[in-house]
Amino acid sequence: MIRVDSTGKSNSLIQVRGLDKTYRRGGEEIQVLQRLNLDVDKGDFVAFMGPSGSGKTTLLNLLGGLDVPTHGSITVAGDEITHMSGNKLTQWRARHVGFIFQMYNLIPVLNAFQNVELPLLLTKLSKSDRRKHVETALGVVGLAERMNHYPRQLSGGQEQRVAIARAIVADPTFLLCDEPTGDLDRKSADEIMALLAELVGKYNKTILMVTHDPVVAARAHSTLHLEKGVLVEGKTSRESVMAGGAV
């Protein structure tokens, strides 16, 4: 259940309270996010939409512990991350967050297996256990047969699947997807979205996704709109598609 107006305590997986983010550019202050509140439960699939500069990616960076807010708090599974030190935040990211980027961002000199294994190198798992986890993750995304292929030997859709396998291999608390289909054709985008929906439906993963594409947003449970740094009331998936008029 996603709520954008909560201000008190809740049992949600992710709680955002009074979140502000201000950048300084030259002498000018740019307020990117304003007094933002949000609750996301486990198993939710949320899409953030909005025009360029509305603060979508900034919100995703704050939720992923890649940036710190000017004011406000973010609490994930009981841990308030906004006051964590840099090192602690790094460890927290390794344990709780899976990132999926628009440009896949695989390491080109490592094959699919080695790319997916990267987050596990930070754990105490043995080599054989790491192998099992990687094979499972690649199996989930349907690329078990291509684990020895290098990124240049894979299509865009396949690269993004490897990136998804890398994001889920350490079983993080939630996934953050920044335009996961932005660099893909429609068919590949549909496949990736079906995969993300499967992760939510079958494996009860929690996903927060930024997208410009209403068709992609329609696969989420709910879509939240950001306008000038403020979250406005969400729409159902159907409403979102209709508003985009892209069906």
Query: Which position among 30, 121, 194, 246 is part of the footprint of other proteins (CB under 8 A)?
Result: 121
Cα–Cα distances in angstroms (integers) from residue 89 to residues 28, 61, 69, 163, in the given order: 29, 12, 13, 22
Indicate whether 119 belongs to the interface with other proteins (CB under 8 A): yes
Phi–psi pair at 6, nearest 5 degrees = -70, 145
Residue 232 is inside which H or E element, if any? strand 230-236
Judged by beta carbon, residue 57 or residue 222, the one nearer other proteins is 57
Stretch that binds other proteins, among 72-80, 91-99, 201-209, 217-225 (CB under 8 A): 91-99
Assigned token pair, 229: 């740094």
Pair 200, 175: CB distance under 8 Å: no
Indicate whether 90 belongs to the interface with other proteins (CB under 8 A): yes
CA distance 15 to 21: 16
Pair 174, 162: CB distance under 8 Å: no
Among positions 160-189, residues that touch other proteins (CB under 8 A) are 166
Minimum distance between the CB of residue 177 and other proteins, rounded to whole angstroms?
13
Query: Which position among 66, 84, 144, 230 is part of the footprint of other proteins (CB under 8 A)?
Result: 66
Binding interface with other proteins (CB under 8 A): 61, 64, 66-67, 86-87, 90-91, 93-95, 99, 101, 103, 105, 107-110, 114, 118-119, 121-122, 127, 166
